[in-house]
Amino acid sequence: MVDAPVESPLALTRRARRTYRILAEHYPDARCELDFADPYQLLVATVLSAQTTDVRVNGVTPTLFARFPDAQALAAADRTEVETIVQPTGFFRAKTDSLLKLGAALVERFDGQVPGRLRDLVTLPGVGRKTANVVLGDAFGVPGITVDTHVGRLVRRFGWTTEEDPVKVEHEVGALFPRREWTHLSHVLIFHGRRTCHARRPACGVCPVARLCPAYGIGETDPARAASLVRTGPRA
């Protein structure tokens, strides 16, 4: 058996960028699917989005933001009221605890404002690097790669990295693309992961980048059956 040729760094970069271009054309509306009006709202919504869908988060945030429109109001919120509002998102007690601590930290340390630096964001309760990159990219225009479950799965399937650690994934994938494209790249990958390249049964037979993907064939390759697997609309 002849081993497959090793892909050079230049060839990998070219393939990665071509894959991204095709996916960006396929998902022209790729964006953050959480509804928000300012950095505070996006930060809160992203914290709530853990282990649930964006649809469910978007269903509760209008009520939450009407009652608690800023960090000061959230810090002074009644725990039971917050729990009642966010209950549909699951793990509502833990999420309420994070939100109350988050509001207090913003007031005490940042004068009620969401900081626009990664090193500050990751010190906030309930905020990790993934959440921080979402807020920086979509609320502040600071490029970042959001390594959620979809992005991590896809970049390994595409052969862009073999790393499992999110920070290492972020750095290796970031090296393949201009920094200005990082945020949109994340959105495009998340759209593809939610709609086509599923974790358990990817729709390989209708994937727009099938011929560029080393993992082609791990899912359904029959076009008709694959098409039935494609999901449409907002999905987390």
Which residues, at least 6 apart from 166, have a Cβ–Cβ distance to it below 8 Å?
A: 129, 130, 147, 152
The candidate with the shortest Cα–Cα distance to 209, out of 198, 196, 199, 200, is 196
Q: What span, in angstroms and rounded, lies between the C-alpha atoms of 152 and 78? A: 37
Active site residues: 130, 148
CA-to-CA separations, 43 to 54, 139, 172, in angstroms, rounded:
13, 9, 26
At 184, which amino acid appears? Answer: H
Sole residue written with tokens 């913003």: 106
Whether the CB-CB separation of 197 and 174 falls below 8 Å is answered with no
CA-to-CA separations, 100 to 65, 92, 94, 118, in angstroms, rounded:
13, 12, 10, 21
Q: What span, in angstroms and rounded, lies between the C-alpha atoms of 124 and 8? A: 40
3-state secondary structure of 2: coil
